[in-house]
């Protein structure tokens, strides 16, 4: 390529008109545009009609100066916005955050990454401040990594900031799960891929998921005899659900991070 460039420069000194390209034509077009052309040398060493549209990179008929005149510029994005509130109260829903595009991709530059992320959530009070959200039969779970995020953005009116955290951990043996869990690949739901039949998992019960009166998390299965089949559902994808059986209650979870979850 360097040899070709030197040869073209030599031609430019002898016959300047032979090096007409994107710069002389003043063209630099997005996408595929057959009308975005010039006359001059192409990068494949053919002289004639050459193109200055983004698609010329794929078709191999760019003008020799395309890369210089139309440099690839990647998409640039800003910071994530704060998480929105939960879309509904007293039932599993979703929250969202977004980030703006500061520079659109140009001339074949890297495309924009995801501009929106959603995560499962469950509010524990109504708009009027009444406690709710603890009456669900199945256990709703999410990744343990979201515990701090959840505590910061969600609160129950029954818990004051000075309330001591009396949490506990439940161990379960996973009996079954739907195939939808393994199909999750979104950044905030990828943890569902680690749910496996026959594995022992830890689920942490902490405020605000813990009911202030009973000091229990909904669906914890604490009263079961260990043979009872209990149901769970992954928050963020209602089709990722399954069953497990209680193993025991412990004060602190000791499972590996990929097999550790929290009640919602």
Pull the structure tokens for residue 208. 């605000």
Pull the structure tokens for residue 132. 């709710």
On whether the CB atoms of residues 175 and 195 are closer than 8 A, the answer is no
Q: pLDDT value at position 121?
A: 74
Candidates 114, 107, 133; CA nearest to 122 is: 133
- Torsion over CA: 11, 13, 16, 22 (sign): positive
Between 23 and 92, the higher pLDDT residue: 23
Between 17 and 75, the higher pLDDT residue: 75
pTM: 0.56
Q: pLDDT value at position 99?
A: 95
Tokens 């916005």 correspond to 81
On whether the CB atoms of residues 53 and 32 are closer than 8 A, the answer is yes
pLDDT tens sequence across 73-100:
899 999 999 888 887 777 677 788 999 9
Pull the structure tokens for residue 45. 């060493």
Q: pLDDT value at position 8?
A: 52
Q: Does the pLDDT value for residue 259 go beyond 80?
A: yes
Looking at the chain, how many residues does it have? 264
């Amino acid at each position: 390529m360097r040899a070709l460039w030197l040869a073209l420069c030599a031609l430019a000194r002898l016959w300047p008109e032979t090096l007409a390209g994107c710069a002389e034509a003043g063209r630099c077009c997005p996408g595929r545009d057959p009308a975005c052309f010039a006359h001059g040398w192409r990068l494949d060493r053919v002289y004639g009609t050459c193109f200055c549209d983004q698609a010329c990179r794929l078709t191999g008929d760019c003008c020799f100066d395309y890369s210089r005149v139309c440099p690839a510029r990647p998409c640039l994005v800003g910071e994530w916005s704060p998480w929105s509130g939960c879309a509904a109260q007293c039932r599993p829903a979703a929250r969202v955050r977004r980030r703006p595009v500061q520079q659109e991709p140009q001339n074949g530059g890297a495309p924009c990454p995801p501009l929106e992320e959603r995560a499962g959530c469950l509010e524990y009070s109504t708009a009027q401040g009444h406690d709710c959200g603890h009456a669900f039969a199945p256990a709703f779970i999410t990744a343990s990594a979201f515990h701090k995020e959840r505590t910061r953005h969600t609160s129950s009116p029954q818990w004051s900031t000075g309330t001591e955290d009396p949490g506990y951990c439940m161990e379960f043996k996973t009996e079954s799960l739907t195939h939808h869990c393994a199909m999750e690949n979104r950044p905030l739901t990828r943890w569902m891929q680690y749910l496996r039949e026959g594995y022992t998992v830890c689920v942490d019960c902490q405020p605000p998921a813990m009911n202030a009166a009973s000091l229990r998390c909904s669906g914890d299965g604490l009263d079961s005899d260990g043979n009872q089949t209990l149901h769970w559902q992954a928050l963020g994808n209602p089709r990722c659900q399954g069953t497990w059986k209680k193993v025991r209650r412990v004060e602190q979870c000791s499972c590996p991070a990929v097999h550790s979850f929290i009640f919602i």
